[in-house]
Structure 1
Amino acid sequence: MNCTSFKMLLAFPLFICTATNSFSQNLQSDTDLRESVLESTVTSYYNAIDNQSRLYTNGPEYSFYDPAIKGNAYLFDSNSFVPGSVEYDGFSYKSVPMMYDLFKDYVVVLLPNKSAKISLLSDRVQNFDWLGHHFVYIDTDTLSNNKGVNTGFYDQVYKGKMEVLVKRSKNIQNSSGQSGKVETFFTSKKEIYIKKDGVYHGIDSEGSLLSLLKDKKKELKQYIRNNQIKFGSEQEQAMVKVAAYYDQLTI
């Protein structure tokens, strides 16, 4: 073999490697381009159909409450439209101006042209994200054993092998002041549930939680004590920490 032939033989694997890398990069580039085009097409589609989107065609028009009622009906008292995302009828919608009415348990959205606001049909909302919280819709008609949970939206604050869900709601109450004048106002309520082995359990204290998780009760009590976990005003966070630790113990 002469010197020229030997050099060509050495260069051939390098050529193959370079060509393969180039092909892979081009293939990845083509894939990224297709995904970008698809996302742009979907966005353009939703913009084009505007108010005709299935998100806006079914729900009834929504009206605000009498301003004489003190407080408001909305999640975390946020009574203005803030962008969120929602999965509706199997389609995902992002950057949708929305509010969450806790009294009626309605997701309220603003039409793109801001001409009106409508309530989404709750049973068509699979889930939504708003103000940093993820809400899921639970239909009790599909449950064989629900332990008192009601149909509606639940704040999924933890999801592992178990789930911790919070039902946030508001009610309207009346009271008479010192002058005898009747005042109407909103009050807040919070209920915590744990989904374990496919069943929802209402939990309202450290004791009820440990009773549910009794197979690891000793370890959980030690964990609660060592980490100074309080179940008073921080009950929601406490439930999440204990549930997450229980999941670790049962891996």
Structure 2
Amino acid sequence: MAAPPWRKGIITRIENETPNTRRFWIQIPEVASFDFEPGQFVTIDLPIHEKPNKRWRSYSIASWPDGTNVIELLIVLLEGGKGTSYLFQEGKVGLELILRGPQGVFTLPKPIDKDLYFICTGTGIAPFRSMIHYIQEHKIPHKDIYLIFGTRKRDDLLYMDEMKRLEMEIEGFHYIPTLSRDQWEGCCGYVHAVYENLVNEKRTDHSVKEAGFYLCGWKNMVDEAKLRIQNLGYDKKSIHLELYG
């Protein structure tokens, strides 16, 4: 399939989500409706290098298809990162960007006929936010969905109030944030113990219940989760990763 064309995007709004994470709303004026599947990403061509492949940065779309030409991106400032440094220093309302998308196959199964585990760290929550809102808005039938979001400190919990509200509104949706550094009233530690415990609780006659695992976030987490999920008895086909092109 041919890659989508490069288009102009315009930043229309910026909000701080945490001390080092910002939400950027981008309008694509060439189209009346920017259509995509929840979980897909866009690539931005930033003026940070002479070679194109060193200018490109890909970000999952944090919003959900709503019939408009505006999307939201959730971006964390990376130490020494040229792309995020440019967006944080130069990114202002009215700034024009060149972007391409949507792309990617990190999307919801059709139908959702088994439990889903959305396992993420940091801004890896972005594609899952898109998926969950889409499920709610379109009243898509589903089994249990577990959003297991790991980060270091309470200040780094992204979209927390929103996710807690969605948990109350969507039957079968379970939001489980866990912190690896701060002590608090919720889960403490890494994401791995959370999904392992959930899977083991659902075992029947020593067999695991059919499920799908979606991983997005820090590379070390994703690599470890792939191994742990297979050790639980699932094959590689049950594991889905975000791969940027």
TM-score by length of 2: 0.29
Structure number with the higher helix fraction is 1
Higher RCO (C-alpha 8 Å, min separation 6): 2
TM-score by length of 1: 0.29
Structure with greater Cα Rg: 1
